[in-house]
Structures are given as C-alpha cells and as structure tokens.
Structure 1
Amino acid sequence: MMISSFTRAAPALRRTTRSCLLIGVLALSSLLSACVSTGFNLNQIDTRVSAKAQESRVRFLILHYTALDHDKSLKVLSEQAVSAHYLVSNEDKPRVYQLVDENKMAYHAGLSSWKNYTALNASSIGIEIVNFGFEETPDGKRFFAFPSQQIDAVIMLAKDIAARHQIKPEFVLGHSDIAPQRKSDPGPYFPWKRFAEAGLILWPDEQLVAQQKALFEAQLPDVTWMQKKLAEFGYATPQTGKLDPETKNVITAFQMRYRPNLFDGNIDAETAAMLEVLTRKAPQPASTAGAKP
C-alpha cells in the first residue's frame, strides 16, 4: 500500500505546531509575569502629592433664558442636542437641576467668543433659567421679567460656582455677550446690577460715568472708537468704521447689560461713557527704575 508524502509528513507537522503553541504560551506567561512583577495597579495610583501649578479648566459662567416653559425646558435640555450644567425653574420655590457634571462639557454656548477665547463650551459652565424670553408685538420684542425668588436662586448658585472655580467678574456673561449676532438672552430684564452688587460682575462707577457723559455730550466718539472699545471690553466686534447691523447688535448687547431702559444699538453719550469707564485702566505707580538711593 502506498503512503502519500503528506501522510508521512503529518506527525512532523503536528510536532512543529505543538512546539509553536508551547513557545507562544511560554512567551505570554513570561509577559504576564513581567507585568505582575512591576507591582503597578491602576486602582492604586498615588494621589497624596498635588501640584501647586494648577487651576480649574472652567473660566466662564454663561447665563441664558430657555424661551420655554418649565416642562419643555427640562425635556429639551436633557434629551436633545442642546444642554446646560444647570437649570433654574421659575416656581414659587425655585428648583435647581444639575443636568451635566461640572467636569464635563455641556452644549449651551454654541459659536461664541470673548476677548481672545473662542468655542466657550469647553471652558464654561452654563446656567439656563426658565423664562419665555420675548414675544413679537407690533411695537417690537416684548421681553419677560424674572421672578425675584428665581434670581435669588441664580445668584446663590452663581456665587458658589464662581467661588469654587475662581471665575473672574469679567468672565461672568450672558449668551448675548458671547454671541451678539445670534442671541439676546438673558435679555434686558435680567438684573445684572444685582449680580454686580453680589460681586459677580463688573459695573461702572456712576460718578465717573456722569463725568464722562458730560464730556461725550460735547463731543460724541465716532464709530471707530466705539468698535475698538467694545472689542477691548471683550465683544467680538467688526472693525469697519461703520455703524453696520453687526456693530449695532454688539452695542445692543452691551446696552441690555448696562443700560436696559434703552437698547437701540445707537451710539450715545451715556453708552460711550459706560464703556469708557469699564475699559479705563487703573493708574499705575510711577516707575522707580534707575532711581538713585
């Protein structure tokens, strides 16, 4: 009977295969032994030493109104593509919902900028406030006011967040500040001055504003000056030298924040005076460099 060459070679092939498998097992065993011998365990990372050179990733606190009722606000912010870290209800006893952990990014700011920062979702905490926003009327937009107890809750929440993350007053902003071409929230009825009294935002000194207003009533700054000052304060502002619609939107956002009784987007002495005072640099002491003892 004839035996094929393949049949004769089969035992040798099986021996070779077993040898290869044995070598593989030994190599894997050696690798695992090496890993165990290092003593490294992800569950035992040493956290006893903390670096001094660190700070919160959060730089901004952004305030919004939802433009929806309570139930729809909660549903949209928890189930759709838009979100915020907190939602403050407008009930008699306001409730605060935390919808996103502060260590995670929420999607509330959209296309946004302030000073040299852009895409602020990554560096901000967002607070949504249940409020219908505005309705269109024959006389233009009619905004809705905020209940006092709701604002009390927002201020308490904002103070806690700002203190824990060391958020600077110039970085506590409204959606209309960081996106003036798209957004108007939290609107002219949001009591920014109460935030200033709580130490949360910058506010221009009234006496200095009155003095500067008198000067500007005699000679009103031009559009180029206004655009540069708005950009210096933080707004993304066109530098066209023209009072174009985009520039008027930025002026309107500034007025809603600091002069909500009139926010028409036009340049006037009071608006310019507020902007001048807010961007005025504090006097610096005279340099003593080179002075002889």
Structure 2
Amino acid sequence: MSDEGFDITAYKMAAEALPHDYLCFLNTFSEIESDGWLRKLHDHASWADIGIARATASLESVRESMKSMSKAVWLCVQGIPYDPLIVERWGHEILRFAPHWLARRPPSLYRRARRPAGRVLALKLFALRPPSRQEVEDHFEIVCAKRGAIYAKLPSFPNPHIRTNAFMMRRPVFLEVLPPTLGTKEDCLEFESGHTSMTNSIVQRGLHAVVVGDDARAYHSSEWSSSKTFRSGAQENILVSDNRTRAFETMLPAGKKLYEHWTWHGSDNPA
C-alpha cells in the first residue's frame, strides 16, 4: 500500500480493500499499553448502539488552542524577554519552533520559525522600538488571519471528537462517514475535529462514540475528562499511546495543566 497522503487516506484505502466486518486503525506513532487491548475495543465496538470505540478522545477546539500556541511561539520569535513562566507553559512547543529563544540568543532583525502547520516563515521583528501590547495584539491578528485559515473554520470549545488513531468500528459505517475528498490537511482536520467530523457523523446516525480504557470500561463523552486516558490524570488508563500522549508526559507541570485545560475545559488560563 502506498505511503502517500495522510493517515485517513491510508485508512480509506484499507477499508475499501478489506472485507472484514470490523476494522481497527493505528498509525506509526502507536504503542500498545494494555494487554488485551484489541479485545477490549471489540467488546464495545460490537454493541449495536456503539458507532466507534477509541483509545483517546478530546473536547478541544483545535482552532482556539493552535491560535494560542502559535501566539506564544510567535512572540518568542519576535524576541520578547526571556520569561521562566513562558518556558513552564510553552517550553515543549518553543523547543520545536523557536529553540533560539530558549537559548536566550540575542534577537536578530529576522528570524525563521516553523509554523505549527509545518511550514517555514520569515517573521520580521518590530523595528527600532518595543511595540505596545495593543500593537502586538493587532499585528498577531493580521498574521493569524493570513496564516491560520487551516484552523479558522474548526468548531469552538467544547468540540467532542474521537482522535483518529487506535479506533475500531464497523467497516460499513466507516465507509459511510468518509468525506468525498481527503487530499489536504484541511480535509483531514475537518474529518477528525471539524463540524462534519467522523464523530459528529456517527452521532447523527444515532450511535455513540466511546473511549475504552485499560480497565475495559467504555466512557461516553461526558466521562472522557475523568477517564485517565488522553491528557487526563497520569494517562494511566490508556490502551494505546501515541506521539501526542507521550509529548504530554514530558511537559512541565504548568504545560500539562495548560494542555489539560485546553482539552477538557477550553481555558487558556488554568487557575
């Protein structure tokens, strides 16, 4: 099978080729964390009223969290003074996209920083004088409007959605909820967490989307935040981990608190 495209593209190709009643999808970041994980997923996916059983899910608005994260990285690229609190909250992302700021190197007139969407941009510092807070806000809104279209159409919080890795469902249902096109990053984001997401399509069919834990219990959306799976507790109840769950484990406490609030409370400023 070709490795081109995105995870969902490969899932679609597999679903069209395989004759099985139930399909379980994992990507290359998946690591099994629970004995009997496949049976646990199937035990719930096989219920008549369950449309999908998954190892992790979220209420996060990717539009809101990506904008906030992008702003923190962008300000570091602009050369704001080093601040330990920023490191505690945003160090994981700054290390990826603005490592020079963590090293406290003298800012130059131009910096190159990797955007969350993966592209490299040349960002110009404000010249000659420090900008006011309002100028920073106004300038960032302009940058976000130009560069953030990929996230702009996604729902606000709360946005219940199953994360599209390590999930099981009936093959006919999966083929029914697939969108007509999956050729772009926008298509895949919409399928996972957009207004017409796989989760919303399943719920509209009168079916439930559940998270299954290592404890073999199915958690409905009202219980996801307490399931101790994705960004919940120490994630000790997770069936299958991935790059996102492992990244959460390596964050400093303030960063974990921030991401947990994004995921389950929609707040940028956890108490």
Q: Whose RCO is larger (CA < 8 A, sep 6+)?
A: 2
The TM-score normalised by the length of structure 1 is 0.24
Query: Which protein is bigger by CA-based radius of gyration?
Result: 1
